[in-house]
Structure 1
Amino acid sequence: MKRKLTTALIATPVSLLLILTVFFDAWMHPFELVVLTALYTLIISPFILLYGIPVTYLSDFARKKSRKAKSLIALFVHMIFAIIFGFVYPMNWPTPLFGMEVDIAFLSAITVALFLWITDEALRKINWNKHQRWCLLFGK
């Protein structure tokens, strides 16, 4: 559970920083970018905790059932649930992407899910459960 919470604490602001920079051109105003990232992190965190964390547990379950390509199975689970989230909670704010109009909620959900997967995989690779002492948030 600690690794999952740490994953959410790292991935949420990083993915929101990227979303605000790329899709909303907030990079032109760095101070506002930091403030918006902090504000949206507080707004989005309940969705990440209630939807994203269970998806990471489901991806862990699917990973254990697989014999090969465990990381790709976890990525697939994250992306499927991001696509579902983007369709269930659309923002009706289309943005152009590769010549198509795509809803910003769809792109944001995929971005956040990708960063959740990357962060979870990175923490798994460093064997987070055995090397927690360096983290100030959850140290012994």
Structure 2
Amino acid sequence: MKKYLDDAGVKALEALLRSLCLTQKDGQAIYGVLEALADASEFPAAALSIPATGWKSSTSGPYKVYRDVAAASVTAADSVQVALAAGSMAAASACGLCPTVETLAGALRFRAVSAPKSTLSGEYRILKGAQGG
């Protein structure tokens, strides 16, 4: 899994914290917290299925249809990375799938020029709170 923390920044923070510690035990405790933070910052992939049915019409922009797909742990403040399976690329291209995905409370919103002719599959990763900064 890919970690979403800057390794150089974490090392600099670790060095600063170690310089502030009064005891080796304090340093080990802080290092343990940093290690736990790094482990918690891995974002596992979740399977994705975007059905060919259930698309709704929109009146704004070039992407005239949209489909919300349930994603229980996502919020509107999050961002996502989506990777479509190779077998879905032709259908995604044919329907003019938008290259960005909106996050809503409990769902991912996909937009397209037209509804796809077949179900699109792939995976997504949630980046918690990424839209906020």
TM range (shorter): under 0.3
Larger CA Rg, structure 1 vs 2: 2
Name the structure with the higher strand share.
2
* TM-score of the two chains, using structure 2 as the length reference: 0.26
Normalising by structure 1, what TM-score? 0.25
Select the structure that is richer in helix.
Answer: 1
